[in-house]
């Protein structure tokens, strides 16, 4: 075994000579040079047991290239051209030299002329020097012998001519350590009951802890990428003083999901084609009666809101239909009602900022970018005298925190907001404006029945969590991120998420 041989070699040499001045002089039993890298492994292992200590010796040396070897043996091209020319006046034609020297003839001719060794008399090459010294060959022979040269310029010139190469080697100076011994003691990794009983632990030597060792990655408890990105968004909201809404109940009544939001009962979104209705139980009547009456009249004729309403007969049974919430705005309406109740009870209105990031469900056909369920990020700000300017200004700040600094708005329609604005962000990668969310100011037809003071305004917005996550983790098919086809290994392997300003540039979320 090579490692054992190396260990024995190091230990016996140290035992005999006390120190190994340079491991380059160590030889194997067969008299061969050591593999210094294998030696390093052995040295590290002995050092960890404090049996030895070592330091590195870094050395540069020069060696001949293949062509350099050839020149050292046969002479430089210029010298060979000189040798090929007979002494005296008659000279020799270049073609003849080429026959002997091949390609080397051309290079050699130029250099030999430059050196003043030969000249071209028009028809032939003739010698102009009686004798020459082939310095290049001599230099190469010196380098071959000594692995260096007294003149650095020579080394660099030869290197440029690709005749020599610079090499680096590391060898080691090795000395005895405090635990030096010829035999390697087996180190214990644990104290056992037997060792304690026998007293053996007193003399045992223990393997040191390696605090630099990379840990084994844990097998359980991995967060899904969506949850990692969610946490980052959560922190942005908390940083801005928002309170998280309870969104843990996915089943909701049509009342909170639609009616409380002034969404008429014949609105196409309330169709089974778009919404998942529950079968068992299919209905609930658990919503505040008093509020229900107000909402009913507001839908029918506007009630006290100054609106004309939708002019239809509002039915309680439609409001009672249970569904999987189609948006987290169902929770916002409920929260605003609670806020209104609290305001009434306490006699003072306190501004509120709410957010949530949770699952919503829509009856959609599934493809690479759409699922029947996704996550919505929802924000709600409730204060007196808020204006559209506040909404635009706030959106600017909010999206900047997510790294999106180019934001544009486009008017749109929601039954519960007026004005309503789609939010677009400039995607530097795609070089175009992409829709990232929807927003607006809740209508008085929604807020007044809930019981909020008339001068209270609410600005709100919603965006998707999936799109930014897909961009962040480079996932192109949403089914690889969410749903039954997701690979568990993927969840284990995805790194933590940090939304910094740099990543934010490519970060886009889309609300449907």
Note the residues at the interface with ligand PHE (CB under 6 A).
327, 329, 378, 414, 417, 438-440, 460-462, 511
Tell me if 490 sits within 8 A of 417, measured CB to CB: no
Residue 356 CB, nearest approach to ligand PHE (Å): 11
Closest CA to 39 of 181, 169, 147, 165: 169
Q: Which is nearer to ligand PHE, 68 or 462 (CB)?
A: 462
Q: CA–CA separation, 372 vs 423, rounded Å?
A: 23
Q: Which is nearer to ligand PHE, 269 or 486 (CB)?
A: 269
Residue 502 CB, nearest approach to ligand PHE (Å): 28
Q: Which is nearer to ligand PHE, 139 or 378 (CB)?
A: 378
The secondary structure of 149-178 as a DSSP string is -S-HHHHHHHHHTTSEEEEEEEEEEEEE-T
Residue 376 CB, nearest approach to ligand PHE (Å): 6
Quote the strand ranges of 93-150, DSSP E.
118-120, 125-127
Tell me if 463 sits within 8 A of 356, measured CB to CB: no
Residue 446 CB, nearest approach to ligand PHE (Å): 10
Residue 329 CB, nearest approach to ligand PHE (Å): 4
Q: Are strands 432-442 and 417-427 parallel, antiparallel or unpaired?
A: antiparallel
Q: How many CB atoms lie within 10 A of CB 161?
A: 15
Task: Tell me the three state secondary structure of residue 376.
Answer: strand
Q: Which is nearer to ligand PHE, 136 or 414 (CB)?
A: 414
Closest CA to 252 of 335, 166, 178: 335
Q: Which is nearer to ligand PHE, 70 or 412 (CB)?
A: 412
Q: Are strands 322-324 and 407-414 parallel, antiparallel or unpaired?
A: unpaired
Residue 282 CB, nearest approach to ligand PHE (Å): 24
Closest CB to ligand PHE: residue number: 462
Tell me if 208 sits within 8 A of 177, measured CB to CB: no
Residue 222 CB, nearest approach to ligand PHE (Å): 29
Tell me if 323 sits within 8 A of 336, measured CB to CB: no
Residue 507 CB, nearest approach to ligand PHE (Å): 19
Adjacent-strand bridge partners of 464? 376
State the Cα angle at 443 between 439 and 444, rounded to 5°.
155
Q: Which is nearer to ligand PHE, 110 or 393 (CB)?
A: 393
Residue 332 CB, nearest approach to ligand PHE (Å): 7
Residue 457 CB, nearest approach to ligand PHE (Å): 13
Q: Which is nearer to ligand PHE, 43 or 261 (CB)?
A: 261
Closest CA to 82 of 135, 126, 114, 123: 126
Q: CA–CA separation, 482 vs 469, rounded Å?
A: 11
CB within 8 A of 57, min separation 6: which ones? 22, 24, 170, 171, 172, 173
Q: Which is nearer to ligand PHE, 26 or 245 (CB)?
A: 245
Q: Which is nearer to ligand PHE, 64 or 460 (CB)?
A: 460
Q: Which is nearer to ligand PHE, 462 or 504 (CB)?
A: 462
Peptide linkage before 419 cis (omega within 30 of 0): yes
């Amino acid at each position: 075994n090579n490692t054992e041989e190396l260990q024995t070699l190091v230990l016996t040499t140290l035992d005999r000579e006390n120190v190994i001045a340079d491991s380059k002089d160590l030889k194997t039993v067969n008299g061969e040079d050591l593999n210094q890298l294998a030696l390093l492994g052995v040295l590290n292992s002995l050092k960890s047991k404090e049996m030895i200590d070592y330091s590195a010796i870094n050395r540069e040396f020069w060696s001949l290239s293949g062509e350099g070897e050839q020149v050292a043996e046969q002479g430089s091209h210029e010298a060979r051209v000189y040798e090929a020319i007979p002494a005296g006046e008659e000279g020799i034609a270049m073609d003849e030299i080429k026959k002997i020297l091949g390609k080397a003839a051309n290079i050699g001719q130029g250099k030999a002329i430059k050196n003043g060794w030969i000249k071209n008399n028009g028809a032939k090459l003739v010698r102009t020097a009686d004798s020459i010294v082939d310095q290049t060959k001599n230099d190469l022979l010196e380098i071959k012998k000594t692995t260096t040269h007294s003149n650095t310029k020579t080394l660099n010139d030869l290197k440029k001519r690709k005749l020599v190469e610079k090499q680096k080697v590391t060898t080691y100076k090795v000395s005895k350590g405090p635990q030096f011994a010829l035999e390697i003691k087996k180190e214990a990794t644990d104290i056992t009951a037997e060792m304690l009983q026998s007293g053996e632990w007193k003399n045992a030597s223990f393997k040191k802890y390696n605090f630099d060792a990379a840990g084994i990655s844990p097998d359980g408890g991995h967060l899904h990428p969506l949850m990692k990105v969610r946490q980052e968004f959560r922190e942005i909201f908390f940083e801005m003083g928002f309170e998280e809404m309870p969104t843990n109940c996915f089943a909701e009544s049509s009342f909170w999901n639609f009616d409380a939001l002034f969404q008429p009962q014949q609105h196409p979104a309330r169709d089974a084609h778009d919404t998942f209705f529950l079968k068992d139980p299919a209905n609930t009547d658990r919503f505040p009666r008093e509020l229900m009456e107000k909402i009913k009249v507001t839908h029918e004729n506007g009630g006290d809101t100054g609106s004309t309403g939708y002019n239809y007969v509002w039915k309680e049974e439609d409001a009672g239909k249970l569904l999987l919430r189609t948006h987290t705005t169902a929770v916002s309406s409920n929260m605003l009602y609670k806020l209104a109740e609290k305001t009434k009870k306490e006699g003072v209105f306190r501004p509120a900022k709410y957010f949530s990031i949770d699952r919503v469900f829509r009856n959609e056909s599934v493809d690479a970018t759409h699922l029947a369920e996704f996550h919505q990020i929802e924000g709600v700000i409730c204060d007196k005298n808020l204006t559209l300017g506040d909404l635009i200004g706030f959106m600017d700040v909010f999206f900047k925190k997510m790294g999106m600094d180019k934001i544009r708005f486009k008017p749109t329609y929601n039954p519960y907001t007026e004005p309503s604005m789609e939010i677009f962000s400039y995607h530097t990668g795609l070089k175009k404006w992409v829709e990232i969310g929807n927003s607006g100011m809740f209508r008085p037809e929604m807020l007044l029945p809930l019981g909020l003071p008339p001068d209270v305004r609410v600005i709100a917005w919603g965006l998707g969590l999936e799109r930014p996550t897909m961009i962040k983790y480079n996932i192109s098919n949403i089914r690889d991120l969410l749903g039954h086809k997701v690979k568990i290994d993927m969840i284990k392997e995805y790194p933590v998420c940090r939304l910094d300003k740099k990543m934010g540039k490519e970060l886009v979320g889309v609300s449907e």
